[in-house]
Amino acid sequence: MRFKVFLSTVAVVALLIFPVMASVNTVIEEHERAAVTLDPAWAYDTGSGQILNNIYDSLIQYDGVSVSKFLPMLSTNVPSVSANTILNDGKTYVFHIRKGVYFHNGNLLTPEDIVYTFERIVIFDRGGGPSWMLSEPLLPMINGSYVDSLTQWAVKLAGVKSWDDLFVKGTTTPRNAQYKKALIDAFKLLAKDFVIKGDEVIINLPHPYPPFLSIISHGAFWSSIINKKWSASVGAWPGTADSWWLYHNPIREKDPLYSVANGTGPFSLKRWSPDREVVMERFDKYWDGPAKIKYAIIKVIKEFTTRKLDLLRGNADVIIVPPSFLEQVINAKGVKVSKSIPVLGLYNFFFNFNVQPHSKFLYSGKLDGNGIPSDFFSNIDVRKAFEYLFPYKTYIKDVWYGQGITPNSPIPKGLLGYSENTPSYNFDLKKATEYFKKAYNGKLWKVGFKLGVIYNVSDQTMQMAAQMLSSFLRKVNPKFKAVPVGELWASLLDNYVSGTLPIYALDWFADYAGPYDFAYPYLSSTGPYGASLGKNFISLAKKEFDPLINKSMKVTDPSERQKIYEEINLKAYKYATMLWLIQPSRQIIYRSWLKGLYPDNYNPMFNKELLFYKLYK
């Protein structure tokens, strides 16, 4: 028995010293996140996007590392004003669709597939999904506001109060002919955007939408082009106006494209075992030439130690490594570490200007030393004190191991609208003390306070941020108590939606490479975050931010848009709206025998998503 254990130990040591390369025709990545679907219209997560970006193509793609320049993909042109393919003051886009492109099942790409793809994304509209990004540019506004769902137009045209009012209770059958006509007419508003002229697809937006090209570029996997004929054959929407509501917001596992795929990309789906692995096989008829490897495999390995051992043994070619574990692989023999790779995302603390009074995180709910009032963060002196309280540089150095920069605004570095000249808060306990003493005419300093600082329990970096905040509050004044509270994601999300969190840590990563995708969610009175920060924030946003954010989407000149976003950034600083923690960078850890990975095969829009097409050994 001991003899067998000894042999096993020797074998493990030998593997660590002499790693064996997996097949030269196969690249294996080990990821911590599993895909939740293979349907591009459903996917809104990096686990799914990782697969979809290798199976599907889009009309255009990013030019190298640029997030503002594009190259053709399934379109042979990138629309531009100079080429007369962006017309009508930025509302008309002309795409020349590539000929001779095969889907993995052998069908040829047609212009109808492009139109079907975009129409299906809009009608699909699953709850909490990505459809809004195509709905906003493709659907006419209502009362001067963007429309996020085709259901809004159906409700308006029918003259009812809600979507459910259109149907017989518990069914998808319209209550009457009038409501059915409203549903069909709503779809016609979408359909009239598209004109097919030979091999051209002409898209006529009802209003200018500057980030439109970014939204439909490769990497935005919800814009992946799918095959109309095949999709209908497996039970997806057939493309008809008089049935679209039957395919609206489906249950994930009952979605016909949940576990199947048929793209034009360099790899086809061979096998998907949810929560375990996906195997993709080279598509030899790929329009841009076949990939150099035959198989691309993504394995879901949630434990870092297992991923590390597989990398060292040569059982994995590339793995995901959290910043706190970098030191364990950075000097490993035969392993390469590419660090400080730009990412378009932000981590921050949110100040809730009006917490729901019943929140347990307010403790006493009064300014009596044992709690805070619900409008605590409506006080700008309090917000500025917190801004000066946080040790930004130490946080990045000690928690993120230097892998990131301190943001100065809601616009990440690398996007239009970012400016190095935007002022930012720095760690200054004297300044923090000054503002704490000013708040509530000195009462806050005298009596102290207690509140909860909430973070996702699975995110160690956010936990450390909460602990740092708590520690320095006590250092400034022992009467200041911030209690770090780690919550499971589901609970945190519920409490965020219900408005019971006074200060909490969350992040936002780019849906597409445009400043509106950050300014709107953070600072708009109707944005995903802004709308949840209380009536006083909403009031501030309506006055100071909404007009500028709306203006930014009506201007197509980049230099003019830059000025607008710089003004937004200055106002965000002036009003101390959020506490910006870090714009993180990415690390790629891989075996030295793997070629074509970085920097040749990377764009900031691909956060944790690996493109296998250019890889080889």
pLDDT tens digits, one per residue of 306-335? 999 999 999 999 999 888 888 899 999 999
Q: What is the DSSP letter of 107?
A: P
Alpha-carbon separation of residue 316 from 53, 306, 399 (angstroms) = 20, 10, 27
pLDDT value of position 4: 34
The domains of the chain are located at 46-250, 345-585
pLDDT over 70 at 128, yes or no: yes
pLDDT value of position 565: 98
pLDDT over 90 at 284, yes or no: yes
pLDDT over 60 at 398, yes or no: yes
Q: 223: helix, coil or strand?
A: helix
Cβ(584)–Cβ(400) below 8 Å: yes
* Fold adopted by 46-250: Dipeptide-binding Protein; domain 1 (3.90.76)
pLDDT tens digits, one per residue of 3-15? 333 333 333 444 4
pLDDT tens digits, one per residue of 58-82? 999 999 889 999 999 999 999 999 9
148, 172, 171, 175: which is closest to 160 by C-alpha? 175
pLDDT over 80 at 94, yes or no: yes
pLDDT value of position 22: 63
Instruction: Give the H/E segment covering residue 270.
Output: strand 267-273
pLDDT over 90 at 267, yes or no: yes
- First CA to last CA distance, the chain: 40
Q: Under CATH, which number does the domain 345-585 receive? A: 3.10.105.10
pLDDT over 70 at 134, yes or no: yes
Q: Can you state the angle between helices 460-476 and 380-389, rounded to 10 degrees?
A: 110
pLDDT over 80 at 601, yes or no: no
pLDDT value of position 10: 38
Rounded to an integer, what distance in angstroms lies between the CA atom of residue 495 and that of residue 177?
41
Cβ(202)–Cβ(553) below 8 Å: no
pLDDT over 90 at 598, yes or no: no
What value does the mean pLDDT of the chain take?
93
CA–CA–CA angle 140, 141, 144 (5° rounding): 155
What is the average pLDDT across 388-394? 98
Under the banding of pLDDT at 50, 70 and 90, the label for residue 19 is low
